[in-house]
């Protein structure tokens, strides 16, 4: 629970930074017909959702906003790994029943699992949503360590190795016709945390384009920027958090913001070692696990991805967080319409060849 609170407060800080930046950069609406409205939501996706939209009136904004929240709630329930909702065949249900028999699941979940399996089949195996067995162990030790910091422990490596024998995506059997999922390994479970928010963002974006002339959606820092803001500016300004910033560095004149990314009709997604972590013997152990070492990856402090698809950006931000900079750069350069920015363990910043179009400090 503590972890949830600190995670939320961090996300709230990020959302606030994004909003403050926006306010500083675009103080007044130049287009008198449209007004900017801002809303926050903390009860969905265990994260802070912030939304900015331009609309002709508050009523028009509310008419657009209410269905957005309904849609996000629907995705939240379907993707929830910890709670049941009546007889909904959500992720929680799947992880408990799919090894006994094929489970018919909602299209929303089926499509996400299929897409992740297609990435796996294409050889992109660093982000593996079939790694639930390993990730659950880390989750339990992290929760226990946050609840009782003096007794925080690392999971025993033999437990992690045993669990890693049950993470083969080939054991997730999908039936396209009947929309069922079946686990041929009874100890396998799915953890879709690496892609769920991006997937949900992509699912609501087409609706938002129809509902409002301009919007910015942030699902816990997973940002999608719609048409340019209706105030004469050509882009939304999205702050990328400095992964090394803390209260002390900020107090002595540092800033929470590493860089600002100027975008429209694009998504900006960051994976960082500061989102979710716990401390063991003075060392930070975060939530993105290298499937080879079974330990939190030490390759990066953060990775930010800019592209059109939020699901792809979410998937890639986790992937690039685990890959070396060289391997990650080669991957990004091989993909059309994808740019990335890395913060390495020494604090230095690297970027893909086209990132300078978006990030203010990249030349």
Place of tokens 């437990």: 159
Residue 8 main-chain phi, psi, to 5 deg: -65, -40
Binding residues for ligand ADP restricted to 297-326, rule: CB under 6 A:
314, 317-318, 322
Q: Please, which residues bridge with residue 52 across strands?
A: 38, 216
Nearest position to ligand ADP, beta carbon: 193
* Residue 275 binding ligand ADP, by CB under 6 A: yes
Closer residue to ligand ADP in complex, CB, 127/235: 127
What would the x/- binding string for Mg ion be over residues 181 to 220, using CB under 5 A?
-------------x--------------------------
Site string for Mg ion, 137-176 (x = CB under 5 A): ----------------------------------------
**Binding residues with ligand ADP: total (CB under 6 A):** 20
Task: Looking at the chain, list the stretches that DSSP marks H as alpha helix, in order from N- to C-terminal side.
Answer: 2-25, 58-79, 91-97, 107-121, 132-147, 157-164, 196-211, 247-251, 310-322, 325-334
Q: Binding to ligand ADP by residue 338, rule CB under 6 A?
A: no
* Least CB distance to Mg ion at residue 193 (A): 8
Q: How many helices (H) and strands (E) does the chain have?
A: 10, 15
Return d(Cα 81, Cα 252) in angstroms, integer: 41
Residues 53-92 that bind ligand ADP (CB under 6 A): none
Given a contact cutoff of 8 angstroms between Cβ atoms, the answer to whether 110 and 179 are in contact is yes
At CA 45, angle to CA 122 and CA 67, rounded to 5?
A: 100
Q: Contacting ligand ADP (CB under 6 A), which of 135, 240, 300, 306? A: 135
- Site map for ligand ADP, 87-126, x if CB under 6 A? ---------------------------------------x
268 binds, among ligand ADP, Mg ion, none (CB under 5 to 8 A by kind): none
Please answer whether residues 165 and 130 qualify as being in contact, where contact means their C-beta atoms are separated by less than 8 angstroms: no
Choices 22-30, 160-168, 306-314, 339-347; region in contact with Mg ion by CB under 5 A: 306-314
CA pair distance 86, 165, nearest whole angstrom: 32
Among 218, 297, 309, 318, binds Mg ion (CB under 5 A): 318
Stretch that binds Mg ion, among 82-90, 154-162, 173-181, 313-321 (CB under 5 A): 313-321
**Rounded to the nearest 5°, which phi and psi values hold at 341?**
-135, 130
Residues 267, 297, 317, 352: which binds Mg ion (CB under 5 A)? 317
The pair of structure tokens assigned to 215 is 């919007």
Q: Tokens at residue 174, please?
A: 């999908």
Query: CB–CB of 42/211 below 8 Å?
Result: no
Chain centre distance of CA 55: 27
Contact between 288 and ligand ADP by CB under 6 A: the answer reads: yes
For Mg ion, the binding residues (CB under 5 A) are 194, 314, 317-318
């Amino acid at each position: 629970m503590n972890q949830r609170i600190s995670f939320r407060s961090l996300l709230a800080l990020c959302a606030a930074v994004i909003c403050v930046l926006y306010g500083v950069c675009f103080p007044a609406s130049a287009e008198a017909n449209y007004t900017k409205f801002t809303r926050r939501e903390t009860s969905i996706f265990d994260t802070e959702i912030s939304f900015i939209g331009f609309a002709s009136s508050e009523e028009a904004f509310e008419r657009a906003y209410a269905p957005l929240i309904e849609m996000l709630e629907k995705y939240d329930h379907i993707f929830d790994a910890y709670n049941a909702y009546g007889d909904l065949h959500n992720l929680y249900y799947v992880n408990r029943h799919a090894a006994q028999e094929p489970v018919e699941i909602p299209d929303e979940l089926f499509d996400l699992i299929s897409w992740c399996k297609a990435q796996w089949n294409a050889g992109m195996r660093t982000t593996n949503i079939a790694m639930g067995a390993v990730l659950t162990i880390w989750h339990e030790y992290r929760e226990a360590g946050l609840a009782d910091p003096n007794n925080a422990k690392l999971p025993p490596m033999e437990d992690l190795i045993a669990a890693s024998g049950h993470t083969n995506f080939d054991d997730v059997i999908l039936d396209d016709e009947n929309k069922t999922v079946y686990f041929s390994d009874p100890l396998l479970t799915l953890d879709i945390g690496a892609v769920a928010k991006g997937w949900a963002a992509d699912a609501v974006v087409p609706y938002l384009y129809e509902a409002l002339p301009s919007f910015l959606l942030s699902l816990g820092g997973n940002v999608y920027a719609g048409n340019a803001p209706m105030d004469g500016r050509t882009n939304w300004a999205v702050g990328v958090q400095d992964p090394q910033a803390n209260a002390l560095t900020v107090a002595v004149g540092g800033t929470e913001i590493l860089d600002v990314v100027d975008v429209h009709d694009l998504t900006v997604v960051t994976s960082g070692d500061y989102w979710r972590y716990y401390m063991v013997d003075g060392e930070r152990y975060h939530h993105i696990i290298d499937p080879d070492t079974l330990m939190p990856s030490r390759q990066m402090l953060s990775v930010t991805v800019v592209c059109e698809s939020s699901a792809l950006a979410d998937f890639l931000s986790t992937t690039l967080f685990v890959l070396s900079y060289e391997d990650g750069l080669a991957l990004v350069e091989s993909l059309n319409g994808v740019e990335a920015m890395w913060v390495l363990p020494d604090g230095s910043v690297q970027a893909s060849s086209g990132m300078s179009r978006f990030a203010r400090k990249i030349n």
